[in-house]
Amino acid sequence: MLVTRLLLTVISFMLFASSCALANSGDYWTYQEYMEAFPEQHQLTKSFAERVRQPVKKQVTSTSSPLRIAMLTPDAQASDYWWRNRISLTRRLQEAGLTFSLTSYSFQPATTIRQQEQLLADALRDDPDYLIFTLNALRHRVLVEKILARGHPKLILMNITTPLKHWAHNQPFFYVGFDHREGTQRLKQAINKMTGPTANYLMLYGTQGYVSEVRGDEFIQLNADMPGYVLSNAFYTDVKRDKAQEAVLRSLAADPSINLIYACTTDIALGAADALKQLGKENDIVINGWGGGKAELDAIADGRLDVTVMRMNDDNGIAIAEAIRLDQENKTDQIPLIYSGDFAIVDGQTPATRLEQLKAHAFRYSQ
């Protein structure tokens, strides 16, 4: 069954690659395109980002009744991005003096849309004031549009910084994330320094959808003008560590010359590292992480991963808290449509003092 699944992923990759033109043809603004199209957002975003970086300001107003917040996130994975931001959101709201209840609904990245629909229905049944969700698959868009049509709750889309043009002036309340394209561009530069102008590489996607496109396909496109960079194979792994491990084992059996494995998520990177350890090739092939959570930083320290693009993780939870606070203070004119957090490249050569500084800031609420 697994062999069949892996073979099917190759076919799926070819089909998905042919559909990328549609996804890139103007369905959404990239972060940079949006800022160019709406220049008034520049100063707004700059001021808001500074607010996120600073300690909490003393609260000016209070709510008459506790706010109800629902959070639906694919946090059943090795990446600590989601749960850390739940903690940073909670603690920032508490510091601001806001009274609230936060109900979390967790699922795996590969959870079926039908199951996600049920979780969403459960969340809406409690009539939250704010709903935190994500947008990765086409069916997510259908679910989001139903919420936008209702006008309630206020919708916060997490892990996405590219507004859909289709929604025009009926956009969600807030987009928050770390711009995947910027992260991939920075990661590409770091990887190119390690490999030089030539590499025979394996692409390991997560699930079919937005994140695989802007992390995986973006990397392929960025290296398209480098004739020495050759894509040997590609697989969808459903963000499962064991599937990533199996994909690497089979790919290296078919093509032993692979010297770079590009992983789109933490679980995938760790699965790839498991495969190289099994084969005794830990020092022969470059593997990247994506996100720079604790599991990846530990793996870089142990020599299992080579490089990652590290998100200043807690920025996102803090940004959500600040947006909610400004909304409650009737200062919505101070909230940008999009917030994108800061990145840093980390590899085995990153000085320990620098790494500790990054960790202290990135995990300042979720230590």
Pairing state between β 130-134 and 100-106? unpaired
Instruction: State whether 222 and 327 are in the same domain.
Output: no
Instruction: State whether 14 and 113 are in the same domain.
Output: no
Is the residue at 174 inside a domain? yes
Is the residue at 223 inside a domain? yes
CATH number at residue 245: 3.40.50.2300
Instruction: State whether 238 and 175 are in the same domain.
Output: no
pLDDT band at 14 (very low <50, low <70, confident <90, very high): very low
The pLDDT score that the predictor gives to residue 23 is 44
Instruction: State whether 302 and 326 are in the same domain.
Output: no
Instruction: State whether 172 and 50 are in the same domain.
Output: yes
Instruction: State whether 109 and 126 are in the same domain.
Output: yes
How many domains does the chain divide into? 2
Instruction: State whether 274 and 187 are in the same domain.
Output: yes
Examine the fold and report which residue of 267, 294, 311 is the final residue of a domain before the chain moves on.
311
Please state the rounded mean pLDDT for residues 336-349: 97
Contact 20, 14 (CB under 8 A): no
Examine the fold and report which residue of 289, 311, 333 is the final residue of a domain before the chain moves on.
311
pLDDT band at 331 (very low <50, low <70, confident <90, very high): very high
Instruction: State whether 156 and 89 are in the same domain.
Output: yes
What are the C-alpha distances in Å from 256 to residues 2, 202, 214, 286? Answer: 21, 11, 28, 14
Instruction: State whether 131 and 202 are in the same domain.
Output: no
- CA–CA distance, 241 with 153 (Å, rounded to integer): 35
Instruction: State whether 194 and 326 are in the same domain.
Output: no
Is the residue at 360 inside a domain? no
Whether 358 shows a pLDDT value over 70: the answer reads: yes
Q: Express as a percent the part of the chain with pLDDT over 70.
A: 90
Whether 347 shows a pLDDT value over 80: the answer reads: yes
Contact 137, 113 (CB under 8 A): yes
pLDDT band at 363 (very low <50, low <70, confident <90, very high): very high
pLDDT band at 57 (very low <50, low <70, confident <90, very high): confident
Instruction: State whether 41 and 174 are in the same domain.
Output: yes
CA atoms within 13 A on the CB side of 71: 23
Is the residue at 147 inside a domain? yes
- CA–CA distance, 305 with 294 (Å, rounded to integer): 12
Is the residue at 232 inside a domain? yes
pLDDT in tens, 102-126: 999 988 877 787 888 888 889 999 9
For 172, the domain range is 34-179+313-341
Nearest by Cα to 187 from 340, 344, 81: 344
Is the residue at 366 inside a domain? no
Average pLDDT, the chain: 89
Examine the fold and report which residue of 296, 311, 326 is the final residue of a domain before the chain moves on.
311
Whether 50 shows a pLDDT value over 60: the answer reads: yes
pLDDT in tens, 131-173: 999 876 666 777 888 889 888 999 999 999 999 998 988 999 9
Is the residue at 351 inside a domain? no
Is the residue at 70 inside a domain? yes
Instruction: State whether 97 and 204 are in the same domain.
Output: no
The pLDDT score that the predictor gives to residue 74 is 83
